[in-house]
Every structure is written in C-alpha cells, then in structure tokens.
C-alpha cells in the first residue's frame, strides 16, 4: 500500500493541476474545479462524534493543501437523535488538542439529496454502511465507502463509536481519521482509480 501524499508538500497550484488533469476513476468522480468542486460527506450514526471529527480533520487537510475552492466537506448522521446539536463536548475537546476546532458544526440527518450532491460518501462502520445503502439509489451506491479503508497506517475498515467509552476512544478516532483523510486526499489529488475500495471497504 502506497504512502499518502503529505498535504503540506503539495502546492495549491500543483494540486489543482493534478485534479484538473486526472482521469475519471471507476468508483467516483475524482476531477474537481472551482466551478464543480469535489464534495465529500462524512457519515456516522448521530453526527456528533465521529463524522464531525472527520469533517474537521478533512477540512484542515484540504486547507493546508490550498484546496478549499476545489474540495468541499460536510457531515451527517443516519439517525435524527441530535439534529441541530453541536458535536459531543468530548469530541470537541480532543479534536481541539490536535488543532481542529469543530465547535461551529451542527448535526444534521442524511438527506436523499446527498446521494446525488456528493461525490464520495464516507461511512464509519458496517452499521452506518448498511443504513446508508438501504436508502441509497442504485446509481449512487458506488459512492458509499468506508472511511477507514483509505488509511495507510492502520489496517482496519472501521472507525469505532467512542460515545459510550472514555478518552482513549476519542483519541483512537482521531488517529484513524487523520490517517484515512490523508489517504482520501491523496487519492483525490492523484485522480487514482486503483485505490478506491469496493463497497464495504477492506476485509479482515
């Protein structure tokens, strides 16, 4: 498995050029322009722990690459339990320790329009994947992927839910998400179609 491209080593001009010249991938659209940015949606159960953390991490990596106009990131939950709520205070605190301010985010539920509007829908675990695919029109099912499947340092396809655990769970989420988001960004920059995992992510 190749190493991710460090975002800090890619200039915005070079990155935009890569994205504009990239071939379309078999799994998802990988080209992006200012007029048609590449849109990524992070999805977990309640949109207060994992997916807002993933949104915050991905947004910062995108910003460090100078690609805020070319790549847009959002998050949502499969459930309606926390609509309008800020991220869990523990998720906010642990994220902030690593430089990610996710306090302005507010939870929302996955909408039917998201399947058309986003190019890549990244779920955290098997239950999220099942719930998302149950609603997803057939023509968009290829967009639904496991976020952790893009990780280069951690061999897993799951970002575990830290809600009922302690501090170590939130730190694990950050470890996995930082690794996976770097992998996602590298794939978008390269326009590669070989790494896009099949629906269900990695096995084992």
Catalytic member of 88, 161, 179, 181: 161
Do the domain assignments include residue 200? no
- Determine whether 161 is an active site residue: yes
Helix axes 12-21, 167-190, angle to 10 degrees: 60
The pTM of this model reads 0.81
Catalytic member of 18, 49, 50, 88: 50
- Determine whether 49 is an active site residue: no
* Per-residue model confidence as pLDDT tens digits over 102-140: 999 999 999 999 999 999 999 999 999 999 999 999 999
- Determine whether 50 is an active site residue: yes
Number of compact structural domains in the chain: 1
> What CATH number corresponds to the domain at position 58?
3.40.50.2300
| Predicted local confidence at residue 197, as pLDDT | 40
Do the domain assignments include residue 67? yes
Catalytic member of 18, 44, 136, 146: 44
Q: In the predicted model, what is the mean pLDDT of residues 82-90?
A: 98
Residue 169: closest CA among 92, 103, 91: 91
Provide Rg for the chain, Cα atoms.
15
Please check whether residue 39 is in contact with residue 75, taking contact to mean a CB–CB distance below 8 angstroms.
Answer: no
Do the domain assignments include residue 27? yes
Q: How far apart are CA 88 and CA 163, in angstroms?
A: 8
- State which residues form the domain around 50: 7-190
* Per-residue model confidence as pLDDT tens digits over 132-178: 999 999 999 999 999 999 999 999 999 999 999 999 999 999 999 99
DSSP letters, 118-161, are: -SEEEESSHHHHHHHHHHS-GGGGGGEEEGGGG-SS---S----
């Amino acid at each position: 498995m190749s190493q991710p491209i460090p975002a800090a080593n890619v200039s915005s001009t070079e990155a935009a050029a890569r994205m504009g010249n990239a071939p379309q991938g078999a799994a998802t659209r990988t080209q992006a322009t200012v007029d048609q940015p590449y849109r990524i949606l992070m999805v977990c159960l309640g949109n207060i722990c994992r997916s807002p953390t993933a949104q915050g991490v991905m947004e910062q990596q995108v910003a460090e690459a100078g690609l805020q106009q070319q790549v847009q990131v959002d998050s949502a939950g499969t459930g309606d339990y926390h609509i309008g709520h800020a991220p869990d205070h523990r998720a906010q605190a642990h994220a902030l320790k690593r430089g990610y301010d996710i306090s302005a985010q507010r939870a929302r539920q996955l909408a039917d329009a998201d399947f058309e509007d986003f190019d890549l829908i990244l779920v955290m675990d098997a239950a999220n994947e099942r719930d998302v695919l149950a609603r997803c029109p057939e023509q968009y099912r290829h967009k639904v992927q496991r976020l952790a499947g893009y990780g280069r340092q951690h061999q897993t396809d799951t970002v575990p839910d830290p809600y009922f655990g302690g501090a170590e769970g939130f730190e694990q989420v950050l470890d996995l998400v930082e690794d996976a988001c770097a992998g996602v960004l590298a794939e978008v920059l390269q326009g590669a179609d070989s790494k896009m995992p099949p629906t269900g992510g990695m096995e084992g």
